[in-house]
Amino acid sequence: MNDHVSSDTTSSRTILKPRRLALLGTVAALGVAVLAGSPASSSLTSFIAPAQAAETVATPPGFGDLVSKVKPAVISVRVRIDQDNDKSAMLQQNRMDSDEDSPFDQFSRQFGFRGPGGMNGIPRQRHQMITGEGSGFFISADGYAVTNNHVVDHAASVQVTMDDGAVYTAKVVGTDPKTDLALIKVDGKKDFPFVKFSDQKPRIGDWVVAVGNPFGLGGTVTAGIVSASGRDIGNGPYDDFIQIDAPINKGNSGGPAFDMNGNVIGVNTAIFSPSGGSVGIGFDIPASTAKLVVAQLKDKGAVTRGWLGVQVQPVTADIADSLGLKDARGAIVDNPQDGSPAAKAGIEAGDVITAVNGASIKDSRDLAQTIATLAPGSSVKLDVFHKGDSKTVTLALGELPNEQQAKASEGRAQPGAGTPRLGLSLAPAGDVQGAGQKGVVVTEVDPQGPAAQRGIQTGDVILNVGGKPVANVGEVRSELAQAKSSGKNSVLLQVKSAEATRFVAVPLA
């Protein structure tokens, strides 16, 4: 089965569909059969009994008290999306004029959409609405509630249903697509039951209880443990998910996950699944992230983030070796954007940012997340490794433009090249039409050579080798020879392709 990515308004986002796994179910039955036999059964029983006793002592008494305390604050979120909205109209256009089931009709049944299309005996009409459901939870007595952005995205109206069946109309206060969070508000009451975000990061192995509204059944509770933290699921540079094994099913999107004190440790947002249902791998937005985002949404209706204005990539072992860095840590700058705070402060391509305000930076994703938590206009100190020397740069952050996507390419460092011994043929850029005037152009690549294995392609332009600009093949050879005579195992190239400019560490034979 091929992995793929999908998301929907009415369920937890299914972000990857892995291969099915078979369960091993014969061990318990075999154990009973052996214990039932004789004469070995008495000795086996005496051997196993202490372990069973210890396990009984460690078993928690249940989650009843916790659930009764927090469940009233969890809500069902039902949205209506006008089919005239560009997005919904596009989804429906192929099924408007046919009485036969379209793929969208099948999708609608699977994920709980209700609306035109002949479902449940309802005739097709051109001006109805499609609806969807998710979950959420109140965070204040005056009606503020948290859910997922993908639950209320493009909503014409929002309706919430409480655990006791009471129904209220809500408005969307603000959304943040980058973290998939949204804040909604129910007006008219000041005594809604609510829950609080946890101030502590959960430990791996801690109990977790997820409450939501799967399949529109009403409040439903599942339990499990925290499986991992800091998960990157490829959703963007701000990924920092908590992984839990408490089942998260369709309709749980935006619902809370609680610790044993009844505090929210995360917001349910995505699952790994082969079929759309839970297989025990769910992902929550951490409470620490949600608190920061929700506070800004309540204040301004939107989220502003600090902006450096650099395109970065992780420092691999090869890159660290080529630069003379002791550890493969930090984020190497591929390209500072013109007019950005980084460019104005003198940050250059090839610089490695190793710390922000004294806090060590692990990789490019860590840099993006750290800068995003800082306010635009705030002053920051960057520790930078620049051409073999360490220095500190102080600058004022800009504001990340709404349309700007922070770029932190993860693990895509691909190699560059130099001479024919690396499997490349080169020509000055000025001699190749459309290549510009800087660097040397790759005119031919040996598919068996080290450069091809590292991803260099015909048409790529090598701008510098070992930190020095190159304009012809002779300069490339010279810098490669210099790197090798210095005892380096690899040399760093700056390579420009049609997509972007990047750094590539090329091993030296």
Q: If we measure between CA atoms, which residue out of 304, 335, 334, 333 comes closest to residue 400?
A: 304
Residues 6+ apart with CB under 8 A from 389: none
Under the banding of pLDDT at 50, 70 and 90, the label for residue 481 is confident
**pLDDT of 92-130, one tens digit each?**
332 222 333 333 333 333 333 334 333 333 344 444 556
Q: What mean pLDDT is predicted for residues 240-244?
A: 88
CA dihedral 308, 311, 317, 319 (to 10 degrees): -110
- In a 13 Å sphere around the CA of 94, the CA atoms on its Cβ side amount to 8
Residue 319: strand, helix, or coil: helix
Active site residue 253: yes
Res. 311: pLDDT tops 90 = no
Residue 51 φ/ψ region, left for φ over 0, alpha for ψ in the -120 to 50 degree band, beta for the rest: alpha
CA pseudo-torsion sign 331, 334, 339, 344: positive
Q: What is the pLDDT of residue 41?
A: 41
DSSP 45-103: HHHHHHHHHHHHHHS---SHHHHHHHGGGEEEEEEEEETTSHHHHHHHGGGTT-SSPPH
Residues 399 and 408: their CA atoms lie apart, in Å, by 17
In the annotation, is 180 catalytic? Answer: yes
Residue 228, H or E segment: strand 220-231
Max mean pLDDT among 84-93, 308-317, 473-482 falls in 308-317
Q: Lowest mean pLDDT: which of 165-179, 373-387, 488-502?
A: 488-502
pLDDT of residue 476: 84
Catalytic residue among 11, 12, 150, 364: 150
Secondary structure (DSSP) of 98-122? -SSPPHHHHHHHHHT-BSSSSGGGP
Catalytic residue among 198, 253, 273, 364: 253
List, for residues 125-160, the tens digit of each pLDDT value: 444 556 678 999 999 999 999 999 999 988 889 999
282 vs 37: which has the higher pLDDT: 282
Q: Which domains does the chain have, with CATH numbers?
A: 1-18+62-303 (2.40.10.120), 306-399 (2.30.42.10), 420-507 (2.30.42.10)
**Cis (ω within 30 of 0) for the bond into 39?**
yes
Active-site choice (180, 318, 383, 460): 180
**Could you tell me which residue, 424 or 10, shows the higher pLDDT?**
424
The proportion of the chain whose per-residue pLDDT surpasses 70, expressed as a percent, equals 68
Of residues 458 and 369, more confidently modeled: 369
Please tell me the distance from the alpha carbon of residue 13 to that of residue 252, in angstroms, as a whole number.
9
Residue 4 appears among annotated catalytic residues = no
Convert the pLDDT of each residue in 313-341 to its tens digit. Answer: 889 888 888 888 888 999 999 888 888 99
The pLDDT, as a whole number, for residue 130 is 62
Residue 358 pLDDT: 94
Whether residue 403 is predicted with pLDDT greater than 50 in this model: the reply is no
How far, in Å, CA of 105 to CA of 95, rounded? 8
Residue 54 has pLDDT above 70, yes or no: no
List CB contacts of 341: < 8 A, sequence separation 6 or more: 307, 308, 309, 395, 396, 397, 398
SS3 of the chain: helix, strand, coil, percent, to 5: 25, 30, 45
Cβ atoms of 340 and 401 within 8 Å: the answer is no
Instruction: Give the CA angle between residues 271, 367, 333 to the nearest 5°.
Output: 120
Work out the average pLDDT over 498-503.
Answer: 80
